[in-house]
Amino acid sequence: MTLEEIDKRYVLHTYARDYTEFVEGKGSTLYDKEGNDYIDFASGIGVNSVGHGNPTLTEAICEQAKRLIHLSNLQVIAPQAELARKIVESSGYDMACFFANSGAEANEGAIKIARKYGETRFDKKRYKVITLEHSFHGRTITTVKATGQENFHTPHFSPYPDGFSYVPRIADIEAAIDDETVAVLLELVQGEGGVQPFEKSEVQALARMLKEKGVLLIVDEVQTGVYRTGEFLASNLYEIEPDIVTLAKGLGGGVPIGAVMTKHKDIFSPGDHGSTFGGNFLSTRAGLAVLDILEALYDSGALHETMLYFEQKLRDVAKQNDDLFEKEVGIGLMRGLRAKEAKIQNAVLKAAMQERLIVLKAGRNTVRFLPSLTISKSEIDEGFARFESALERVRREG
């Protein structure tokens, strides 16, 4: 049987897979089993933040695996404590962390923190959470319901937890707050929703208003966090201080990890929340290596230079191909091109893969770019050369 046949027979069909079989990666270049190279502008949907085969990350993982991979959270885990300290110090916030295995789990933890806060800190229980239309917060039953996209709320998985509502714009949030509202859950740049950043001034006004009303601000930084937007957190870039922040994706460089951090450090008691695998030796040691790599890149100015270089390339493409794209969107290395229609978006994705360039799909007809933060200028140049070839192919094939 071929790999495709095995996959289709034994793996549940939850993905519209591409069956290119990759066997190796170096930096932002992937190689299939025939030895063909592909430029990776997707980084595993923003996960491979330090690229493929990064020697520092690889060495850290190997060395840790030789010693201890996992113990339960009933024992203290040294790299977990060190990673929590590193995250908190990098954020600049006075918070504490809980570690999980994914962004959805981190958001579940955030919702549990908010719900307990609403149960214990007020005379009347508060439990409702407001999110925005076009948001995405995960694939569990609760985080699917928190996601502000009706196509995710299929009746196949109902009934869903109550207490979630959605508004079209940040400006609509205040009117939606009632005496049972405990929190607002927000992505500062909507990823799956079309790489759509919000205006800094309106986010800051929202943060002030919520503080005045005693409503928690939860910022979902699963995709925007860990230097993706240029600062350690997008919250730092927007100059706000949330009550709760969630992280995942790029934190482990490919090793599954999620984290929720909050200023309400005494909200949970032993037994309120937990995870068997969350924050184990392997994942947190990987996280420490990733943060060391990216902090050095940030401090040297190299990360900023890479972001400016990539941004200019993308803007040039948008300007020169205005028959296909409406505009360039995004922040840092979380970028997109808004196609004029879904047909163009789908054709570009297909053509890019044919030209051996990996890009992503997002909402609002957006072609999404999430390269590793360590991508080289030569890989950026080659990637955009292939993207131009893909656009020529789209025009040629109609």
Same domain? For 200 and 332 the reply is no
- Can you give the CATH number for the domain in which 196 is found? 3.40.640.10
Q: Nearest-CA neighbor of 321 among 296, 302, 299, 338?
A: 338
pLDDT, tens digit, 9 for 90 and up, residues 196-233: 999 999 999 999 999 999 999 999 999 999 999 999 99
- pLDDT (0 to 100) of residue 8: 97
Domain count, the chain: 2
CA gyration radius, the chain: 21
Same domain, 184 and 266: yes
Q: How many other C-beta atoms are found inside a 10 Å radius of the C-beta of residue 75? A: 7
Mean pLDDT value of segment 361-382: 98
User: Around Cβ 295, how many Cβ atoms within 10 Å?
Assistant: 15
Of 299, 334, 364, which closes a domain? Answer: 299
Q: Is residue 118 part of a domain?
A: yes
Is residue 86 located within the same domain as residue 233? yes
Among residues 299, 333, 351, the one where a domain terminates is 299
Which pLDDT value is given to residue 340?
97
- Residue 128 scores a pLDDT above 90: yes
Q: Is the pLDDT of residue 42 over 80?
A: yes
In the structure, what pLDDT confidence band is assigned to residue 335 with cuts at 50, 70 and 90?
very high
Contact criterion met (CB below 8 Å) for 173 and 167: yes
Q: Are 187 and 332 found together in one domain?
A: no
In a domain, residue 382? The reply is: no
pLDDT at 398: 77
Residues 244-250 have a mean pLDDT of: 98
Q: What is the mean pLDDT of residues 143-147?
A: 97
- 174 and 307 in a single domain? The answer is no
Q: What torsion do the CA atoms of 290, 279, 163, 241 make, to the nearest 10 degrees?
A: -50
CATH number at residue 332: 3.90.1150.10
The reported pTM is 0.97
Tell me: pLDDT of 308 over 80: yes
Domain coverage including residue 327? 301-375+388-398
Question: What mean pLDDT value characterizes the chain?
Answer: 97
Q: Are both 219 and 180 inside the same structural domain? A: yes
Buried b (16+ CB within 10 A) or exposed e, 8-33: eeeeeeeeeeeeeeeeebebbbbeee
5 lies in some domain: no
On whether both 367 and 346 belong to a single domain, the answer is yes
Does any domain span residue 13?
Answer: no
- 193 inside domain: yes
392 and 272 in one domain? no
Final residue in a domain of this structure, among 274, 299, 324: 299
pLDDT at 117: 98
Q: Is 246 in contact with 220 (CB distance < 8 Å)?
A: yes
**What is the pLDDT, as a whole number, of residue 282?**
98
CA 162 and chain centroid, separation: 25
- Same domain for 366 and 285, yes or no, is no
Report, as an integer, the average pLDDT of 28-37: 98
Residues 98 and 245 in one domain: yes
> Residue 144: is its pLDDT beyond 90?
yes
Q: Please, what's the b/e burial string for 113-127 (b: 16 or more CB within 10 A of its CB; e: otherwise)? A: bbbbbbeeeeeeebb
Q: Same domain for 141 and 263?
A: yes
Q: Is 267 found in the same domain as 294?
A: yes
Residue 10 lies in a domain: no
C-alpha distances in angstroms, 136 versus 193, 219, 260, 322? 7, 12, 16, 28
